[in-house]
Structure 1
Amino acid sequence: METIAVARHAMATRFEIVLNGEDPAALRAAGEEALDEIQRIEAQLSLYQPTSEIAHLNARAAQEPVRVTPSLFKLLKQARELSVETKGAFDITIAPLIRCWGFMGGTGRVPGAEELAEARANVGMDLVELNPKDFTVRFARKGVMLDLGAMGKGYAVERAADLIRDMGISSALVNGGTSSILALGSPPESESWKVAVQGPALSTDVAASPFATISLKDEALSVSAVWGKSFQSEGGSFGHVLDPRCGRPVKSALLAAVALPSATETDVFSTALLVGTKETYDYLLRIRPQARAACILASNELDHEQVISHGFDLLKFM
């Protein structure tokens, strides 16, 4: 049994793929083709590449119906369905709010009340008209903008794994940075892939350590967290993860992790859990009974974060 690893930078992160099999040349070819697919998806979905389908859609869809490729139309339809399922906690029309809070190419700022209200008026999947007859998309008003960042990486990981599977490889791990991973089959001489989930660094002097582990086989894992982009203002800290329903940075959770067969869905639901509450967590387990999930809920007292988990092996990290 041979093991081949390939890697490439895309979607502002490092994608790594480990493949196991008998033919090293075939493994490497499959890995490189999977990385090509990830880069193709980035070129299609990126908000920041002016030649992408999403950029073209954002520029034209408020003026006229815009025809998109069937694969993108299918993804937008799935995004709408998942927005409904998450009761609006996940919403790809969140881009006006990201821009309003200064996180679109910037370090962040607190918007004024009128500016925030205007941005909120341009958010909501009800403002996106999908016509399945001709694969066209139309925005109901000027100012609507799509951002698939909360599902694009999971979608790319899932498509890469599908391609590897279609090439006859039954053991592989597709890893998109620290946030999205899909385990295909199991590694040699093991029943599953064991993955650690990093917890928050509770101070600048202490490095983050794993707070949980999970075993994966033909299953994906996504982790969403509030740390990363943030700024300080008026004595408070404001993170880059925004609640599309109220238009403000989330405060209820620090981290959310979800495991399901679909990496696209794990990306979406980990975001929804981060935006939501304990009730959102309970709701996810009702609508996706096969899901495994873990959350670190925020607290006003630094040493009293609450960890809730189903299907993860928790480690002591606080």
Structure 2
Amino acid sequence: MKKLLLFVGLVLATFSTQAQARKLIFQQPKMGSMFTVQVWTADSVNAAQAATQAFAAVDSLNLIFSDYLPDSELSRLSQTAGSGKAVRVSPALWDILWTSRMAWEKSSKTFDVTVGQLTQLWRQSRKSKQLPSPTVRQKALATTGTQYLQFDAKNHTILLKRPGTKLDLGAIGKGYAAQRMLEIMQKAGFAESLCDAAGNMAIGKNPEAGWTIGIELPNQQGELLASWLVLQQMAISTSGDAYQAVRIGGKNYSHIVSPKTGLGVTYQRQVTVLSKDAAQADWLSTACYLLPVPQALKLAESEQSEILILDNQPSGLKTFTSPGFKKFFKEE
């Protein structure tokens, strides 16, 4: 669904208080991307065990959330679309879909997990470099709409009313997984951890001066924003199209699909969100990418989150930020 453009480092003010501690890094490929756990500790054995548990939790979530695996719980639920059958779902799937329902309402129906048919169609278009025909696109659009998901809290069931609806958690699933990983690390006693799910970061306490996060400038191929962020006990996610844009018919399209048109958006923008947890940061960064700038700023404020928007306009790069975002920049 999106390309996340974040780089993480660790700045230490002094080594005197934690002479025996060091930063450990654990990595495994998960959900089609690289996942990383960074932890500041002197206990390498137990840290490794905790990281293994965190990665195992991601594997379990993938069996629930994946829209690529035909036997995942999500895929099985999608297969019931239009059948009139309400399906009892696991706590994790209920939680993420209910969160997605709330996100859809809060984002003026911009964040929509029922766009699976559209994203699948757009993947084919990006590969073939041909736009889908209006007829095919309208058929896919007719399968979308979070309002057609019926939730029964008493029985913990979900009914997909609209035939052909295909669910896609690509704009929230990795953030959800990152937050779950951090919770596991913290429960194991490693509060000073950072869990990175392909750029969706759940950030724990900092060991000294802080975890520093660099944001890549849009369309600059590795060049970072001059100021770095210093973060702790929060989450960060960035949505942008620096590496996954495609040119079709002389026009650039993002890999992020508009649920209103069924096509990738044509403007060039990068949105970074700071939130209380990684699932929230994940969906907010996508919703704010799709919304007009004034609405994006308002949505972030309503969610008690901070936002940075880098917007490539004909006149050059324009920057928009929420009032509190700048306080997280590292002081020179």
SS at match of 1:251: coil
Answer 1 or 2: higher relative contact order, Cα 8 Å, separation at least 6: 2
Q: Percent identity?
A: 21
1:29 aligns to 2:49 (yes or no): yes
Query: 2: distance between equivalents of 1:90 and 1:51?
Result: 25
Structure 1 residues 103-131: Cα deviation after superposition (integer angstroms, max 9, x where no partner):
49945531122222222221110111112
1:299 aligns to 2:313 (yes or no): yes
Match of 2:88 among 61, 67, 70: 67
Structure 1 residues 19-49: Cα deviation after superposition (integer angstroms, max 9, x where no partner):
1234221111111111111122122111111
Query: 2: distance between equivalents of 1:99 and 1:146?
Result: 11
- Displacement of 1:282: 2.2
SS at match of 1:145: coil
Query: 2: distance between equivalents of 1:88 and 1:122?
Result: 15
TM-score, scaled to structure 2: 0.86
Match of 2:271 in 1: 256
Match of 2:219 in 1: 201
Query: 2: distance between equivalents of 1:50 and 1:149?
Result: 16
- Displacement of 1:231: 2.9
1:270 aligns to 2:285 (yes or no): yes
Match of 2:8 in 1: none
SS at match of 2:184: helix
Query: 1: distance between equivalents of 2:130 and 2:148?
Result: 26
Query: 1: distance between equivalents of 2:121 and 2:43?
Result: 51
Structure 1 residues 45-73: Cα deviation after superposition (integer angstroms, max 9, x where no partner):
11111221111111124322222112211
Query: 1: distance between equivalents of 2:155 and 2:233?
Result: 35
Give the unaligned 5+ runs of structure 1.
none
Match of 1:129 in 2: 150
Give the unaligned 5+ runs of structure 2.
1-20
Query: 2: distance between equivalents of 1:300 and 1:25?
Result: 53
Q: 1:138 to 1:83 in 2, by over 3 A?
A: same
1:52 aligns to 2:86 (yes or no): no
Q: Does the CA contact (< 8 Å) of 1:45 and 1:52 recur in 2? A: yes
- Displacement of 1:233: 2.1
CA RMSD of aligned residues (A): 2.0
Q: Does the CA contact (< 8 Å) of 1:79 and 1:92 recur in 2? A: yes
Match of 2:33 in 1: 13
Match of 1:222 among 237, 247, 251: 237
1:118 aligns to 2:139 (yes or no): yes
Q: Does the CA contact (< 8 Å) of 1:155 and 1:264 recur in 2? A: yes
How many residues matched? 305
